[in-house]
């Protein structure tokens, strides 16, 4: 039913009822850049041509979209998918009334340290395949469940096999063996651990929040990462008002992630910066926490991204369509804003201009929806709407029974 086809040199997708390009210069004049009755040619991994179906050139392979909708592939800019074990009992307890404190990370750390690299790799590959089935074509993957030099490097080695956007998150939490020596752990993260991990990472991240790392510790971690050639991003302002977002802006982080608790000053700082606010609605859903206020951020002029935060403790989903549906219902985003945030917004949060947009010369990463319009992503929550996924011009998922 699914799977990678043999590579083809060029593919024409024709009969697209609604093509969302995210190219505001094209189409209907909105940020979605919508074309109707459109076609696309994919060649050598890139988009080679976009235009009217009636004017489409020939290609080696032809796919008829049958009037359905095509969108850019989702850019999931925040995941933690290299781990072992699962925490369904903790989820059930939380749903029975226990609050999330961040302490459950230690459970996954213990399971991950005990797992073989082959087992970690198999688990991560399974989750990436699941993400592709719901339309994700670019994924960021963090370490953070090893928390020793050897284990963090092992996680990043696995992540590196699956994506270019790997993130060193040694500063996810202080591991139990350093409970009485926080300074010693920060010294390790900014010293030997960073040195071992930097070759496998593009980004450095830190969890700056109550129960995690404070402002000075977080600044030290990010500055050390920057000095080692990594680019900064940050988890912050999830559990309470705090210094995270301001620190992210101070260091020109690509993204400040969570952003549930923001002051007016935080909003202004974000709006005047190149730092994206990445919102994680499935995490708020799974921790039964108040949702981040996307409406307030967008109205203040902040660039917003949506991501899954896929992890075994607080957001065990790979589904960007679920995130879109939650963001529209619970964060007061429009369906159009949510789709842009899940594609072009994610690309901005990873400082990439090759994905998140369907235009000539960009990567041929796109999704055929089994729906006439992108609005169905929020209008039909829970339905498996992804009929096909193309990554670098190759069809990597196909729900053949629907055509
Ligand atoms: Zn996270």
CB count within 10 Å of CB 150 equals: 10
Q: Is 268 exposed, middle or buried (0-12, 13-18, 19+ CB in 10 A)?
A: middle
**245 CA from centroid of ligand 1 (Å):** 15
The string of pLDDT tens digits covering residues 174-199 is 999 999 999 999 999 999 999 999 99
Q: Is the pLDDT of residue 208 over 80?
A: yes
Residue 159: alpha-carbon gap to chain centroid:
14
Residue 44 C-alpha to ligand 1 middle, in angstroms? 34
The predicted model gives 280-298 an average pLDDT of: 96
Cα 247 to Cα 244: distance, rounded to the nearest angstrom: 5
d(CA 381, CA 383): 6
Task: Sort 105 into a burial class: Cβ within 10 Å, 0-12 / 13-18 / 19+.
Answer: buried
How far, in Å, from the CA of 180 to the mean position of ligand 1?
A: 24
Amino acid 1: pLDDT: 37
Structure tokens at 25: 């210069």
Q: Please give the C-alpha separations between residue 92 and each of 96, 102, 132, 267, 283, in angstroms, as whole numbers.
A: 6, 15, 28, 34, 15
- Say yes or no to pLDDT of 398 above 60: yes
Instruction: Using the mean position of ligand 1's atoms as its centre, give its distance from the Cα of residue 95 in Å.
Output: 20
Q: Does the pLDDT value for residue 5 go beyond 60? A: no
- Per-residue pLDDT at 3: 43
pLDDT of residue 35: 97
Positive or negative: CA dihedral 363, 367, 368, 372: negative
Task: Work out the pLDDT band at 211, boundaries 50, 70, 90.
Answer: confident
Tell me: pLDDT of 236 over 50: yes
Q: How far is the CA of 254 from the centre of ligand 1 (A)?
A: 15
Q: Ligand 1 centre from 299 Cα, in Å?
A: 25
Site of tokens 């960021």:
140
- Distance between Cα 337 and ligand 1 center (Å): 22
**Is residue 191 within 8 Å of 147, Cβ to Cβ?**
no
Ligand 1 centroid distance, CA of 170 (Å): 12
Mean pLDDT of the chain: 95
CA 53, CA 44: separation in Å to the nearest integer? 21
4 pLDDT higher than 80: no
Q: What is the pLDDT of residues 58-74, one digit of tens each?
A: 999 999 999 999 999 99
Cα 8 to ligand 1 centroid, rounded to whole Å: 37
CATH fold label, 10-73+357-402: Urease, subunit C; domain 1 (2.30.40)
| pLDDT on residue 6 | 55
Confidence category of residue 102, pLDDT binned at 50, 70, 90: low
Q: Where are the domains of the chain?
A: 10-73+357-402, 75-349
For residue 400, the CA-to-ligand 1 centroid distance in Å is 34
Angle 269-306-208 (CA atoms, 0-180°, nearest 5)?
Answer: 50
Q: Encode pLDDT of 128-140 as tens digits.
A: 999 999 999 999 9
The percentage of residues in the chain with a pLDDT greater than 70, rounded to a whole number, is 96
Give dist(CA 360, CA 275) in Å, integer.
Answer: 27
Query: Can you spell out the DSSP letters for 317-333?
Result: ---HHHHHHHHHHHS--
Distance 255 CA to ligand 1 centre (A): 12
CB atoms within 10 A of CB 271: 16
Q: Is 207 helix (H, G, I), strand (E, B) or coil?
A: strand
The three-class DSSP label of residue 142 is strand
- What was the pLDDT predicted at 7? 62
Average pLDDT over residues 210-216: 93
Residues 135-160, mean pLDDT to the nearest whole number: 98
What are the pLDDT digits (tens) for 331-382?
A: 999 999 999 999 999 999 999 999 999 999 999 999 999 999 999 999 999 9
Q: What is the pLDDT of residue 98?
A: 83
> What is the CA(311)–ligand 1 centre distance, in A?
7
Are 247 and 234 in contact by the 8 Å Cβ rule? The answer is yes
16 falls in which pLDDT band (50, 70, 90)?
very high
Between CA 38 and CA 382 the distance in angstroms is 27
C-alpha of residue 202 to centroid of ligand 1, in Å:
16
Q: At what angle do helices 149-160 and 105-114 cross, to 10 degrees?
A: 80
Coil, strand or helix at 66 = coil
Q: Which CATH superfamily is domain 75-349 in?
A: Metal-dependent hydrolases (3.20.20.140)
pLDDT tier for residue 401 given thresholds of 50, 70 and 90 = low
- Is residue 212 within 8 A of residue 177, CB to CB? The reply is no
80 alpha carbon to ligand 1 midpoint, in Å?
Answer: 6
């Amino acid at each position: 039913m699914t799977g990678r086809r043999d590579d083809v040199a060029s593919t024409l997708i024709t009969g697209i009822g609604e093509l969302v390009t995210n190219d505001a210069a094209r189409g209907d004049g909105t940020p979605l850049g919508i074309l109707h009755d459109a076609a696309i040619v994919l060649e050598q991994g890139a988009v080679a041509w976009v235009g009217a179906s009636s004017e489409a050139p020939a290609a080696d392979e032809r796919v008829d979209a049958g009037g359905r909708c095509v969108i850019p592939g989702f850019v999931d800019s925040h995941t933690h998918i290299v781990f072992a074990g699962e925490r369904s009992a903790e989820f059930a307890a939380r749903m029975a009334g226990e609050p999330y404190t961040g302490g459950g990370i230690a459970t996954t750390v213990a399971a991950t340290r005990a797992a073989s690299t082959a087992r970690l790799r198999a688990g991560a590959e399974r989750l990436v395949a699941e993400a592709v089935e719901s339309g994700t074509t670019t994924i960021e993957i963090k370490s953070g469940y090893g928390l020793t030099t050897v284990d963090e490097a092992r996680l990043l080695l696995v992540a590196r096999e699956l994506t270019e956007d790997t993130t060193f998150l040694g500063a996810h939490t202080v591991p139990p063996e350093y409970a009485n020596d926080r300074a010693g752990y920060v010294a390790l993260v900014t010293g030997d651990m960073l040195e071992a991990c930097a070759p496998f990472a593009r980004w450095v991240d830190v969890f700056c929040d109550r129960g995690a790392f404070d402002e000075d510790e977080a600044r030290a971690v990010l500055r050390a990462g920057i000095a080692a050639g990594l680019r900064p991003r940050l988890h912050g302002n999830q559990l309470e008002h705090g210094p995270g977002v301001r620190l992210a802006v101070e260091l020109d982080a690509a993204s400040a992630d969570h952003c549930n608790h923001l002051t007016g000053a935080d909003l202004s700082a974000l709006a005047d910066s190149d730092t994206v606010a990445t919102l994680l609605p499935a995490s708020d859903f799974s921790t039964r926490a108040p949702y981040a206020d996307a409406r307030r951020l967008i109205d203040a002029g902040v660039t917003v991204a949506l991501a899954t935060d896929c992890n075994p403790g607080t957001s065990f989903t790979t589904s960007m369509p679920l995130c879109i549906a939650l963001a529209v219902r619970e964060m007061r985003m429009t369906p159009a804003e949510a789709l842009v945030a899940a594609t072009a917004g994610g690309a901005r949060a990873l400082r990439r201009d090759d994905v998140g947009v369907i235009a000539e010369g960009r990567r041929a990463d796109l999704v055929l929806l089994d729906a006439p319009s992108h609005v169905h992503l929020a209008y039909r929550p829970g339905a498996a709407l992804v009929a096909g996924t193309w990554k670098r011009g190759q069809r990597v998922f196909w729900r053949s029974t629907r055509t």
